[in-house]
């Protein structure tokens, strides 16, 4: 992993500016009625159809939108509107802005899904039309926490790669780690593609305290990966239980959107049903 002493030195040089949802300062507090879900009766009476729901997918570190290809294909066969939001991975604040630009391309209620680091990003999105959050082996820092705080909460998996920033403050995943930790259940061809398209993540993404996360106000689902070697399952469970998320546990690796897409689609489908009522 990123060496702890490097992380602590980097923190010491930074201020403690928290990243909050766009248009909100760090002290803003959601009132329940701002993001209140309709009661079951209201949902059924609104007759929201699947075709009215948009699914927006946010990739994590060392990935891009292509990591969602099989999930997108499966959802499209069910006539679900879906798009993958490109994140620059240059800072948490800039990633939230980029995600909100993708939300602007949609209409109607939104199911917002994030993989890995993007769990922190989706929790800071503009809340107006977001009706459900889906965490796919994702990180979910609470208000005031940093992504690195939850990432380093316990000892890493023995197969987890050792990471360090380069001279530009960017962290790249070693090529061999795609087959040993990032997606150990993937084919050699898939691992080669993942390594070729990887996007580095900046320290500015993981060393800034976050604002109030949307999962405190919006229903959430969490795919716990029993075989994750990047974020250990104990951390998955800790975050999912703290969020009071609907937990789905499977023996999948860190990148099930590539290696077990049907499982990911099933979780997203459950979130869609919470909006449509059927």
At 113, which CATH number? 3.40.50.1820
Domain presence at residue 33: no
pTM of the predicted structure, to 2 decimals = 0.84
The answer to whether 80 touches 50, Cβ cutoff 8 Å, is yes
pLDDT of residue 50: 85
Q: What is the pLDDT of residue 171?
A: 97
Is 61 inside any structural domain? yes
CA 212, CA 136: separation in Å to the nearest integer? 20
For the chain, helix, strand, coil in percent to 5 are 40, 15, 45
Q: Is residue 37 part of a domain?
A: no
161, 172 contact by CB (below 8 A):
no
Say if residue 86 is exposed, middle or buried (CB neighbours under 10 Å; 0-12, 13-18, 19+): middle
The domain containing residue 159 runs over which residues? 4-12+48-276
Instruction: Please tell me the distance from the alpha carbon of residue 91 to that of residue 78, in angstroms, as a whole number.
Output: 34
> How many C-beta neighbours within 10 Å does residue 129 have?
14
21 in any annotated domain: no
**Residue 32 covered by a domain:** no
Instruction: Determine, yes or no, domain membership for 35.
Output: no
Give the model's pLDDT for residue 148. 95
The count of domains in the chain is: 1
Q: Distances in Å between the alpha carbon of 151 and those of 156, 158, 232, 275, 277? A: 9, 15, 9, 31, 35
- Residue 26 placed within a domain: no
The phi and psi torsions of 75 (rounded to 5 degrees) equal: -65, -35
**pLDDT tens by residue, the chain, 278 residues:** 455 555 555 555 554 445 655 444 443 433 333 444 444 333 333 457 888 999 999 999 999 999 999 999 999 999 999 999 999 999 999 999 999 999 999 999 999 999 999 999 999 999 999 999 999 999 999 999 999 999 999 999 999 999 999 999 999 999 999 999 999 999 999 999 999 999 999 999 999 999 999 999 999 999 999 999 999 999 999 999 999 999 999 999 999 999 999 999 999 999 999 999 87
Phi, psi of 39 (to 5 degrees): -65, 165
The conformation of residue 181, written as its DSSP 8-state character, comes to I
240 closest CA partner among 167, 105, 131, 142? 142
């Amino acid at each position: 992993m990123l060496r702890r002493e490097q992380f602590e030195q980097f923190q010491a040089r930074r201020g403690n500016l928290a990243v909050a949802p766009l248009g909100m300062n760090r002290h803003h507090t959601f009132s329940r009625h701002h993001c209140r879900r309709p009661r079951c009766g209201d949902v059924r009476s609104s007759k929201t159809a699947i075709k009215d729901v948009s699914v927006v997918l946010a990739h994590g570190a060392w990935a891009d939108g292509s990591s969602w290809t099989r999930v997108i294909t499966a959802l499209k066969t069910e006539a679900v509107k879906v798009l993958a939001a490109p994140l620059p991975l240059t800072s948490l604040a800039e990633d939230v802005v980029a995600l909100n630009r993708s939300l602007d391309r949609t209409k109607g209620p939104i199911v917002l899904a994030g993989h890995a680091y993007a769990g922190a990003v989706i929790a800071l999105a503009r809340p107006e039309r977001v009706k459900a959050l889906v965490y796919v082996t994702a990180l979910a820092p609470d208000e005031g926490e940093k992504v690195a705080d939850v990432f380093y909460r316990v000892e890493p998996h023995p197969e987890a790669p050792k990471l360090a920033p380069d001279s530009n403050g960017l962290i790249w995943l070693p090529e061999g780690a795609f087959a040993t930790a990032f997606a150990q259940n993937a084919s050699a061809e898939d691992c080669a593609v993942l390594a070729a398209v990887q996007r580095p993540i900046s320290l500015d993404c993981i060393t800034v305290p976050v604002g109030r996360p949307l999962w405190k106000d919006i229903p959430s689902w969490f795919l716990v990966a029993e075989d994750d070697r990047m974020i250990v399952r104990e951390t998955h469970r800790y975050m999912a239980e703290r969020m009071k998320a609907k937990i789905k546990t499977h023996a999948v690796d860190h990148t099930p959107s590539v290696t077990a897409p049907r499982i990911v689609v099933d979780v997203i489908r459950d979130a869609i049903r919470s909006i449509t009522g059927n």
